[in-house]
């Protein structure tokens, strides 16, 4: 075995570790792009807390735009075009769905807002569904099971689901930050997005539903966030490795750096009600 | 046939095999009474061969008998399995301790483990000529480096990048070209192939990690690899070009096979059926070309891979045409006859080659 090979391989190890760590230092230096306090609802323990692993990480829970075309979604045809998707084929064309299905996802940046208007709209929609179910039950169109289902969904949305909602996307993270300057509520993160056709809600009975192109967020690139050893001890003290609780048991402070990569800076237990 | 001093264990082993074959053949000819070599000449040749065998055994630890060769194979398999098991042990050990050590220790452990494994590889290589332990440790070093960058990424929440594939490839190449280990070369080529395919994908505007979704991403890198293997010798490692050619051909023919059956995966936004037909024709041409090049240049791997894919393309076509139409016994009869036809064609090619050689 030649010595130069071992030296070259060792140099590759040292250099690549150095570059990666310098990147981490650069990300965490200076003023963070965002610092947001979330709860267990938005950052529960990651799924992979296995018996063989002592590492602890949190999973970033968020929800994307779920409104269909004609319902005022922000992730529409113009936004997809801006990101780089080809929207030449009308979505209602016979080959429209296949055309959009075969377009590969693209990497871009997404703005996630904590407890903002997007979240409030979701709650209102859930409340509306309860009212509608009640009205239909009163008119004898639906039964009490539908009312109960809508009520449970509302309760779930109010108390358990994440309040982190995607509100915008774009290829320029700086421009995205300019549009959403609240650094304590909005995080800009790299994400993978996809285009598809979607059938919206018909404006009234007897009218064909609108068919449009809509974007959806496939994944946020860094969705599992490592918890350093000293902060993991706080999680241990409040029941590590158990399912998310209602109400949330801890608050976690996340910082997003110059490269829009997050890290945990604090975890504190929340008082029991 | 080269007869200069061997530069590697492989070429020394080939010379030893030729000596053993010569001795066996000479004994057989003498036993038949066809010819008997002059005693003096026989002694001169035997002395030369004995001295070569002794020299190669001392320098390269070659296998000078069938028993030794079988034992060597056993050791190779054991070192491969050992490397896999020890790499898994390292992975699970890291998992086990990861949450119990601080950040500074994590960095030290991550960067230190491949360096330690490299130092152990160098030490083992100095102590033994056969490199069984060195190859085992080299593979562990590569696994440690995979783990190093992977865990560094998850520990510091780094956005995944295709550059990791490039540095893994550089690491594996450095070790392979200094040790002659084909497994590490294959790891280097595999990482380089993934990096190049991911780069082609990003030029097309896709997410790098989705490079597998468009099989065409592999065609150019595959051609490049085959070109490297076809270009010539790789220093003292005579068996390295085979690995390049084999992996290069697979990187071309597997994507073509996928596209010939699933046109929707193509970059071309044409009718899926039309794309499949284009790739079916390309598949037959490319696998035929591979067989032809393999036969012409004496590259067994090219001829074999070409034959396998030619049959696969034919089978896929037959399946499309006749699976729903023909009774099963007739379908398999056609497939069997196809195999017979292929044997006839290859036999004719073999006959032609034999006449050319004569």
Please write the tens of the pLDDT for every residue from B238-254. Answer: 788 999 999 999 999 99
Contact B178 A222 (CB under 8 A): no
Q: Does A225 touch chain B (CB under 8 A)?
A: yes
Q: Does B100 touch chain A (CB under 8 A)?
A: yes
Contact A13 B170 (CB under 8 A): no
Which band of pLDDT confidence, cut at 50, 70 and 90, is reported for residue B358? low
What backbone phi and psi angles, to 5 degrees, belong to A182? Answer: -75, 100
The whole-angstrom distance between A187's CA and the closest CA on chain B is 15
What per-residue confidence (pLDDT) applies to B2? 46
Task: Find which of A2, A16, A257 to mutate to test the B interface (most B CBs within 10 Å of its CB).
Answer: A16
Contact B131 A1 (CB under 8 A): yes
Read off the pLDDT of each residue in A130-145 and give the average, rounded to a whole number: 85
Residues 50-89 of A with CB under 8 A from B: 50, 52-57, 84
- pLDDT of A49 higher than 70: no
Percent of chain B with pLDDT over 90: 41
- pLDDT of A142 higher than 80: no
Q: Does A22 touch chain B (CB under 8 A)?
A: no
Q: Does A232 touch chain B (CB under 8 A)?
A: yes
Contact B141 A259 (CB under 8 A): no
3-state secondary structure chain B: CCCCCCCCHHHHHHHHHHHHHHHHHHHHHHHHCCCCCCHHHHHHHHHHHHHHHHHHHHHHCCCCCHHHHHHHHHHHHHHHHHHHHHHHHHHHHHHHHHHHCCHHHHHHHHHHHHHHHHHHHHHHHHHCCCCHHHHHHHHHHHHHHHHHHHHHHHHCCCCCCCHHHHHHHHHHHHHHHHHCCHHHHHHHHHHHHHHHHHHHHHHCCCCHHHHHHCHHHHHHHHHHHHHHHHHCCCCCCCCHHHHHHHHHHHHHHHHHHHHHHCHHHCCCCCCHHHHHHHHHHHHHHHHHHHHHHHHHHCCHHHHHHHHHHHHHHHHHHHHHHHCCCCCHHHHHHHHHHHHHHHHHHHHHHHHHHHHHHC
Residue A48 CA to residue A55 CA, distance in Å, equals: 9
Q: What is the ipTM of this complex?
A: 0.87
Selecting from B102, B210, B213 the residue whose C-beta is nearest the C-beta of A229 gives: B102
Q: Does A250 touch chain B (CB under 8 A)?
A: no
Note the pLDDT tens digit of each residue in B185-201.
999 999 999 999 999 98
Note the pLDDT tens digit of each residue in B216-238.
999 999 999 999 999 877 667 77
CB atoms under 10 Å from CB of A247, counted, come to 13
Task: Find which of A14, A15, A20, A29 to mutate to test the B interface (most B CBs within 10 Å of its CB).
Answer: A20
The whole-angstrom distance between B322's CA and the closest CA on chain A is 28
Q: Which residues of B touch A261 (CB under 8 A)?
A: 156-159
Which band of pLDDT confidence, cut at 50, 70 and 90, is reported for residue B174? very high
What per-residue confidence (pLDDT) applies to A225? 95
What per-residue confidence (pLDDT) applies to B1? 44
Residue A28 CA to residue A14 CA, distance in Å, equals: 21
A225 contacts A262 by C-beta, under 8 angstroms: yes
Q: Which residues of A touch B159 (CB under 8 A)?
A: 190, 221-222, 259-261
Contact A106 B160 (CB under 8 A): no
Q: Does A110 touch chain B (CB under 8 A)?
A: no
The whole-angstrom distance between B244's CA and the closest CA on chain A is 19
**Which of A8-17, A99-108, A197-206 has the least mean pLDDT?**
A197-206
Q: Which residues of A touch B213 (CB under 8 A)?
A: 104
Note the pLDDT tens digit of each residue in B266-298.
988 788 889 999 999 999 999 999 999 998 888
B290 contacts B249 by C-beta, under 8 angstroms: yes
What per-residue confidence (pLDDT) applies to B198? 94
Residue B248 CA to residue A178 CA, distance in Å, equals: 47
**Count of A-B CB contacts under 8 Å:** 146
Read off the pLDDT of each residue in A63-76 and give the average, rounded to a whole number: 71
The whole-angstrom distance between B81's CA and the closest CA on chain A is 22
- pLDDT of A183 higher than 60: yes
Note the pLDDT tens digit of each residue in B316-326.
988 888 888 88
Residues 193-252 of B with CB under 8 A from A: 204-208, 210, 213-214
Contact B145 A10 (CB under 8 A): no
Residue A54 CA to residue B165 CA, distance in Å, equals: 27
CB atoms under 10 Å from CB of A170, counted, come to 18
Q: Does B170 touch chain A (CB under 8 A)?
A: yes
Read off the pLDDT of each residue in A91-98 and give the average, rounded to a whole number: 80
Task: Find which of A2, A5, A190, A218 to mutate to test the B interface (most B CBs within 10 Å of its CB).
Answer: A5
Contact A13 B96 (CB under 8 A): no
Contact B205 A84 (CB under 8 A): yes
Residue A243 CA to residue B52 CA, distance in Å, equals: 71
Chain A residue with CA closest to B95: the answer is A53
User: Length of chain B, please?
Assistant: 358
Q: How far apart are the first and last CA of chain A?
A: 67
Give the sheet arrangement for strand A262-269, strand by strand: A34-39, A250-256, A262-269
Q: Does A259 touch chain B (CB under 8 A)?
A: yes
Residue B110 CA to residue B106 CA, distance in Å, equals: 6
Selecting from B145, B174, B207 the residue whose C-beta is nearest the C-beta of A5 gives: B174
Contact A84 B178 (CB under 8 A): no
Chain A residue with CA closest to B96: the answer is A53
Note the pLDDT tens digit of each residue in B119-148.
999 888 888 777 778 888 999 999 999 999
Residues 293-352 of B with CB under 8 A from A: none
Contact B115 A104 (CB under 8 A): no
B299 contacts B293 by C-beta, under 8 angstroms: yes
Contact B179 A1 (CB under 8 A): yes
Contact A13 B213 (CB under 8 A): no
Percent of chain A with pLDDT over 90: 49
């Amino acid at each position: 075995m030649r010595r130069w090979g071992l030296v070259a391989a060792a140099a590759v190890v040292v250099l690549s570790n150095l570059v990666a760590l310098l990147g981490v230092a650069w990300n965490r230096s200076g003023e963070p792009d965002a610092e947001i306090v979330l709860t267990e609802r938005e950052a529960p323990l990651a799924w992979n807390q296995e018996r063989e692993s002592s590492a602890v990480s949190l999973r970033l829970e968020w929800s994307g735009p779920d409104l269909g075309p004609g319902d005022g979604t922000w992730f529409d045809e113009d936004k997809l075009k801006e990101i780089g998707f080809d929207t030449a084929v009308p979505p209602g064309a016979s080959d429209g769905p296949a055309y959009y299905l075969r377009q590969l996802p693209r990497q871009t940046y997404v703005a996630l807002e904590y407890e903002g208007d997007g979240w409030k709209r979701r709650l209102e929609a859930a409340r509306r569904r309860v009212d509608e179910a009640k009205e239909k039950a009163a008119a004898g169109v639906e039964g009490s099971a539908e009312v109960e289902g809508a009520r449970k969904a509302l309760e779930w949305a109010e108390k358990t689901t994440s309040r982190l909602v995607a509100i915008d996307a774009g290829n320029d993270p700086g421009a995205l930050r300019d549009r959403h300057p609240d650094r304590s509520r909005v995080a800009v993160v790299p994400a993978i997005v996809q285009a598809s056709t979607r059938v919206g809600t018909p404006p009234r009975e007897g009218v064909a539903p609108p068919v449009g192109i809509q974007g959806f967020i496939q994944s946020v690139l860094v969705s599992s966030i490592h918890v350093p050893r000293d902060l993991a001890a706080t999680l241990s003290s409040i029941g590590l490795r158990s399912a998310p609780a209602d109400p949330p048991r801890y608050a976690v402070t996340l910082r997003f750096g110059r490269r829009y990569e997050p890290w945990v800076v604090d975890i504190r237990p929340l008082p029991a009600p | 046939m080269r007869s200069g001093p061997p530069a590697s264990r492989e070429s020394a082993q080939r010379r030893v095999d030729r000596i053993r074959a010569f001795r066996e053949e000479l004994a057989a000819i003498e036993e038949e009474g066809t010819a008997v070599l002059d005693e003096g000449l026989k002694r001169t040749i035997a002395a030369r061969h004995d001295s070569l065998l002794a020299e190669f055994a001392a320098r390269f630890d070659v296998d000078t008998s069938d028993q030794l060769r079988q034992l060597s194979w056993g050791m190779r398999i054991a070192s491969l399995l050992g490397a896999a098991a020890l790499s898994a042990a390292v992975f699970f050990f890291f998992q086990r301790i990861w949450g119990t050590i601080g950040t500074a220790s994590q960095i030290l452990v991550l960067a230190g483990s491949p360096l330690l494994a490299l130092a152990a590889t160098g030490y083992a290589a100095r102590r033994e000529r056969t490199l069984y332990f060195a190859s085992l440790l080299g593979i562990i070093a590569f696994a440690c480096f995979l783990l190093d960058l992977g865990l560094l990424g998850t520990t510091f929440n780094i956005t995944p990048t295709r550059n990791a594939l490039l540095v893994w490839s550089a690491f594996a190449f450095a070790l392979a070209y200094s040790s002659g280990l084909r497994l590490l070369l294959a790891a280097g080529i595999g990482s380089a192939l993934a990096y190049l395919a991911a780069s082609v994908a990003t030029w097309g505007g896709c997410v790098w990690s989705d490079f597998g979704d468009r099989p065409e991403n592999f065609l150019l890198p595959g051609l490049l690899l085959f070109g490297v293997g076809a270009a010539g010798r790789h220093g003292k490692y005579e068996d390295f070009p085979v690995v390049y050619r084999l992996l290069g051909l697979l990187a071309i023919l597997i994507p073509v096979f996928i596209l010939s059956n699933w046109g929707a995966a193509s970059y071309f936004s044409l009718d899926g059926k039309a794309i499949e037909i284009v790739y079916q024709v390309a598949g037959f041409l490319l696998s035929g070309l591979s067989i032809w090049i393999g036969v012409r240049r004496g590259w067994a791997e090219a001829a074999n891979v070409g034959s396998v894919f030619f049959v696969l393309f034919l089978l896929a076509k037959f399946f499309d045409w006749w699976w729903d139409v023909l009774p099963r016994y007739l379908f398999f009869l056609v497939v069997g006859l196809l195999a017979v036809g292929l044997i006839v064609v290859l036999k004719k090619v073999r006959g032609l080659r034999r006449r050319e050689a004569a």
